[in-house]
Amino acid sequence: MSARFICLTSVLALSAVQASAEMNFNRIASFPVVKNMAEGEDTKRETSPEIIAATADGMTLAYTDSPLGALGLVDITDPAKPQPLGNIDLGGEPTSVGIIGNTAFVGVNTSESYTAPSGHLAAIDLATKTELARCDLGGQPDSIAIAPDASFISIAIENERDEDLNDGVIPQLPAGNLVLVGLNDGTLDCASMQIVDLTGLAEVAPTDPEPEYVSINNLGETVVTLQENNHMVVVGRDGSIVSHFSAGAVDLDGIDATDERGKLVFTESQQGRKREPDAVTWIDDTHFATANEGDYEGGSRGWTIFSKDGTVVYDSGTSFEHAIVQIGHYPDKRSDSKGVEPESVTFGQFGDTPYVFVGAERASIVGVYDVTDPTTPVLTQLLPSGVGPEGYVTIPSRNLLISANEKDLIEDKGARAHVMMYELQDTPANYPHLTSEGTDELIGWGAISGMVADEDGTIWAVNDSFYGFQPSIFKIDASQTPARITDVIRITRDGQPAQKLDLEGITLDGKGGFYVSSEGRTDRVIPHAIYHVQSDGSIKVKKGEIGLPAELMAVEKRFGFEGITKIGDTLWMVVQREWKDDPKNHIKLVSYNLETKEWGAVHYQKAEPAYGWVGMSEIVAHGDYAYVIERDNQHDYRAVTKKVYRIPLSEIVPAPLGGELPVVSKELVRDLLPDLTSTGGYVLDKVEGMAILADGEAFISTDNDGVDDHSGETMFFSIGNVTKPTH
């Protein structure tokens, strides 16, 4: 293990110790912005909070909503119970917002084409929801920033390129610029507008600067990112160029740079990777931080602190991404592009501690850094966010951090877009729930599915087909907080990663190995099957695969075995949904006797879905009962069914396949909805794993879909002793 990696893990371990003993940010609420639509509106339309700001008293939030062409408002008088205040139609695409007192200043893009960009700066009274004034900007506005003394506003006029023209390569005129607009007692002074020419500065396409983001320090200096040009510019209050320089490049080692269909291998490198920063924020009058998202040619997967003379005083290198890998938020499908894509960076002083908050767009994570010493920032926390965090605002007077998460997955039947509230509290951090921090080698993980507990308290978990080239069994120590992945077993056939598996369940074979259930899908040539896996991960030759009998294959559907448990000499598998011969809302618990090779089944009656579908996702035998998870496929406020039931083992007696099956009874053990919202987030749809320790304590886990159109959040938590149900 390299010295660099040893240093990283030591710093993160130290941070974890500090976080447990000091103040921590914890998410306290999530607000689905669809709730801001008026009664009778089509709520199936896309809605997206992007850039966000707060009123002077910290009681109201305003965010830009590009798809709706609106400014959305949220009442956070009680930040743990945010309330909708509706939308304000802006007559164009809002791109950024800042607030003075109770007046919002919004950049509005009205461009008809890339070659004829246009837009204006609007002043909106948030109390009356009316426009007070506007200034024509002569181009397409992107980011805006208000000077700390409220004397002027800086606007990045991007005049963005057409990505379908010339493969998106710049220059593509007209060039962008920086606009400075004066303020008189909070009122726009359009006559004072000053246009700052930024051409001729960058080495990359100097004729076509595309300003992306702006921030203003206490000296009235505006720092501007030219993302596509990989350049930084500092502009004085009078419009003069104070300094400018290339954002530079980074050599990246220990990354996954290949999209190889689901395999986490952090052994590759990218040399000379341009930073191409997106967001920027001053942290004092000398230093600013950038989020190096990258654009067409770059993206360094991290963030940087510059001195305004161009000196790099800190660069995170791969440490930010590695920390994200450890908590299961790494977006593998972005490996060949820009990895976790740090896009947002925000500064806030809370008490005596200056913080930089770094938002990773693709990982849906907010990194919290103590920048007391700008040359050695300390990562203190990683906070879970909604899908695609875009903008942040800090409200130190109320100990609040707010994130706007732009991705609305309504078309993909996923989670809606959310604004999330975090509070700095004198309590332990409540996320992550599961981490691989502390292992000798970097272990990436995600899409946790079935689980099982060993006699010594170890929990074993499998990942599903998202990681098709790397099926794995993870060893988890649940006695720690957060729970720790301490090792991993890779499942193999003939020494190679076993393919065509969709692992959804795991149970012990009693001899140091495992039986795993694989959910089949005929159209992808993935068989419905049970596999016997030895302790080293190899599937036993010849006898290692148990295929389904003809009676089941004749009625199979893609929604197959989701969980597996062993009762005596018999394996029991729970089918996710009805197959062709099942009565409505009835699914099979299927048995396979390891000694006699006989198959059988019983029926289980599941809930009638309120929306979408209801299915089964786990089965675990313990004591005199088999415990199952019954869940719908709904996210957030639409979720209804996320429950643990138990079935008397005395009723789980297999009947022959092909005939009428007995229906077992069930008893509610726990409604999981309160657990799933206990950390202030929205309800995650895939409650998929359950393991029960010898003493009856049960642990639940959620599947994060490999961070593909998902926030990446994995919940792993105890529901106490299930031998004593809490209805």
Q: pLDDT tens digits, residue range 400-439?
A: 999 999 999 999 999 999 999 999 999 999 999 999 999 9
Selection from 333, 339, 307 nearest residue 321 by Cα: 339
Q: pLDDT grade, residue 726 (50/70/90)?
A: low
Fold that domain 434-717 belongs to in CATH: Neuraminidase (2.120.10)
Mean pLDDT across the stretch 324-351?
97
Task: Give pLDDT, residue 523.
Answer: 86
| pLDDT tens digits for range 276-308 | 999 999 999 999 999 999 999 999 999 999 999
* Domain locations in the chain as residue ranges: 434-717
Predicted confidence at residue 261, as pLDDT, reads 72
The token pair that represents 54 in the structure block: 């707060």
- What pLDDT is attached to residue 79? 98
Is the pLDDT score of 4 beyond 80? no
Q: Judging by DSSP bridges, how do beta strands 434-435 and 483-490 pair with one another?
A: parallel
Q: How far apart are CA 380 and CA 204, in angstroms?
A: 36
Confidence band for 259, pLDDT divided at 50, 70 and 90: confident
Single pTM value for the model: 0.95
3-class SS at 675? helix
Higher-confidence position of 662 and 541:
662
Residue 14 binned pLDDT confidence (cut-offs 50, 70, 90): very low
Looking at residue 129, its pLDDT comes to: 97
How far is residue 631 from each of residues 446, 482, 566, 596, 615, measured CA to CA in Å? 20, 25, 22, 33, 6
Q: Are 692 and 565 in contact (CB under 8 A)?
A: no
- Residue 462 in this model has a pLDDT that exceeds 60: yes
Among 9-13, 95-99, 485-489, 618-622, the range scoring the smallest mean pLDDT is 9-13
pLDDT the model gives residue 236 = 98
Average pLDDT over residues 709-722: 97
Instruction: With beta carbons less than 8 A apart as the criterion, state whether 688 and 449 touch.
Output: yes
500-554 residue pLDDT tens: 999 999 999 999 999 999 999 988 889 999 999 999 999 987 789 999 999 999 9
CA distance 23 to 216: 28
List the beta strands (DSSP E) in 509-548.
514-518, 529-533, 545-547
Percent of the chain with pLDDT over 70: 97
Average pLDDT over the chain, rounded to whole? 95
What is the mean pLDDT of the segment spanning 347-357? Answer: 98
The closest alpha carbon to 629, from 566, 692, 549, 581, belongs to: 692
**What is the model's pLDDT at position 8?**
36
The answer on pLDDT for 352 being more than 70 is yes
Nearest to 123 by CA among 148, 142, 98: 98
pLDDT of 703: 98
Kindly tell me if the per-residue pLDDT of 9 is higher than 60: no
The secondary structure of the chain in percent helix, strand, coil, rounded to multiples of 5, reads 10, 45, 45
